Structure 1
Amino acid sequence: MYLKKAFWSEIKTLDNIHRSNDKSSETPSPSPVTDLVSSLEDQRLYREVTLALRTGLRNARSDFSFLRLHGLRNILKFLRSVAASDSTISLFCHTQSIPALQVVPVLFQHSLQDFEDQIVSNLDHIFSVEPMKIKSHSTDAEVSLALRVLEGCCLLHRESMVLANQFKAVQVLMNILATRGVLEQGACLDALISIMLDSSINQMDFEECNGIEEVALLIRDKQVDENLRMKCGEFLLLLIGHVNGREGSPMAGIHDDIRRLLGEKSASLIWAASQFGSTLDADQRLIALHIQARRVLESLDLY
């Protein structure tokens, strides 16, 4: 669901025009119409945000994968609309303090649930009167979309990182990175970056899971999809740029790990590339990130 512009917002614009054309008042007082329109706008936004979340989460909790996929698509569209303004971001952050509207728990309880937990291990229901409730497994598209939603929630709402940690997010994502396909692996790397930004507890979990080793194995493997290897290079560049210079960081030894796993040449290139680009705009940073990731791949000794 996209957040739409209210039809009464034109009233506010016309009121402002009339007030600016009024020469008789040197210090115009606030217009009652303007106050009314602002109040209606706030109420409308709140209703739209809560409605979008309730509708998307209802489908995302479904036992059927196709309904969960539909709900996740709507939530992702909603997050993109929310990111358009600070007021809607603030409103979304407020809704995430309400348990019934929290997105992250639903992702881990349904779409990102471990495959082993979805396997039917007991057949007693076949010989009993009461039917057993069976839940359809998460498809590749569903897992990938759930990871994109998780990424958006963590980037917009800082507390979602803490909430994700309660569901052992890093361990779940590292399992997806090791067992799923290219589509989910690429989304998984983006989600890992988002949940580790300024989150010491998630960075510690990443260290305990030997995350750098897992990413290094992928980027060094010639048989791995080229786009995924590029994504691994971008992941390392973003990670190094984030933790660089933080001696007290849980990942303070990441430079030594990359030097040991990828070699001195690649490690030096990654470290140097992470020092630049802060003055560039968003599009230029993205282009620079792609270029540097390509250079990292070319620098690796794959023999």
Structure 2
Amino acid sequence: MNLKEPLWSKRTESNEHPSPSSSSPRDPESEAAAAAATSAVEELVNSLNKQRIYREVTLALRTGLCDVRAEFSFLRVRGLRFLLKSLRSIAQSDSSITLFSQTQSIPDLQVVPLLFEHSFKETEDEKVGSLDHIFSVEPMKVKSPSTDSEVALALRVLEGCCLLHPESTRLAHQHKAIPVLMNVLSTRGVLEQGACLDALISILLDSSANQMDFEACNGIEEVAELIRDKQVDENLRMKCGEFLLLLIGHINGRERSPIATIHEEFHGTSLLI
């Protein structure tokens, strides 16, 4: 989604270069009437522009979320790529960011819950508890597992949502985001792990609930373990170090943070880089 400037917002040459006759003296009443007309036109243009952006934002969300709900991973990947492109376009304008925040109060347009219900859902959750489907005429729904590319894209979308809309961190907490992301960090590949560290920063930012979950999951130790492991990709180990430094910098500006003991944990850990 690319938010383009509407045609009606562009000034014409006649507006930019007034005619000589317009420089002639005017009486106060005519000037007041002209000013009122100009103000009314500007209000109409602003209203039309706001409605246009809202339609584009909601259309982009509905299009992307439709694919994110799909049963096949390649369709979900397509939806996630579209959402990520849309979020990057939304981030370029304060007005579109405000409208995006408004859409996230509408359940059908919320992005974060669908990420955890589909892309981050473990394959084990799909196990069948009974064999009733064998004797039924109804076909059994089979959902393809999330690929590495899908998980990495979903993490980027999660990061974007939390940065543009801080309330998305609360939605992430409701879906146990920290345990899910720590599982990704410990079981997935380098591509997903790098995206996971960025997503962790965005959902921990100014979120006491997520910070408490991170502490309960021994997040510092998990990240430090990756740094100590010489078999881990060097770039990922450096990214883990940056992650810890960002946490420390964030806590230095706050008092009594839920993870305020990070300094002791960080300095007490033997980081053999």
- Aligned residue type for 2:3: L
- 2:248 aligned partner: 240
Shift of 1:39: 2.0
Shift of 1:18: 4.9
Counterpart among 141, 144, 164 of residue 133 in structure 1: 141
Shift of 1:67: 0.9
Report 1:28-107 matches (<5 A).
Answer: 29-30=35-36, 31=38, 32-107=40-115
* 1:130–1:7 CA distance, 2 compared to 1 (3 A): same
- What does the per-residue CA deviation read over 1:50-80, in whole Å, with 9 as the maximum and x for residues that have no partner? 1111111111111111111111111111100
- Secondary structure of the residue aligned to 1:29 is helix
Structure 1 portions without partners, runs of 5+: 263-299
Task: Tell me the TM-score normalised to structure 2 length.
Answer: 0.90
CA–CA distance in structure 2, aligned partners of residues 145 and 206 of structure 1: 22
- Secondary structure of the residue aligned to 1:222 is coil
CA–CA distance in structure 1, aligned partners of residues 13 and 213 of structure 2: 55
Q: Which has the larger radius of gyration?
A: 2
- Aligned residue type for 2:115: L
- 1:8 aligned partner: 8
- 2:161 aligned partner: 153
Shift of 1:122: 4.4
Name segments (4+ residues, structure 1) moved above 6 Å: none
Contact 2:227/2:272 (8 A) holds in 1: no
- Aligned residue type for 1:3: L
* 1:230–1:119 CA distance, 2 compared to 1 (3 A): farther
CA–CA distance in structure 1, aligned partners of residues 14 and 228 of structure 2: 63
- What does the per-residue CA deviation read over 1:99-127, in whole Å, with 9 as the maximum and x for residues that have no partner? 11110011111111123213455444234
Report 1:1-303 matches (<5 A).
Answer: 1-10=1-10, 12=11, 14=13, 16-18=15-17, 22-23=22-23, 24=25, 29-30=35-36, 31=38, 32-120=40-128, 122-262=130-270, 300-301=271-272
* 1:216–1:45 CA distance, 2 compared to 1 (3 A): same
CA–CA distance in structure 1, aligned partners of residues 217 and 149 of structure 2: 25
Percent identity between matched residues is: 68
Task: Tell me the TM-score normalised to structure 1 length.
Answer: 0.81
Contact 1:54/1:101 (8 A) holds in 2: yes
Shift of 1:33: 3.4
CA–CA distance in structure 1, aligned partners of residues 44 and 17 of structure 2: 16
- What does the per-residue CA deviation read over 1:146-186, in whole Å, with 9 as the maximum and x for residues that have no partner? 00000000000010001110000001000111111111110
Alignment: residue pair count: 264
Aligned CA-pair RMSD = 2.0
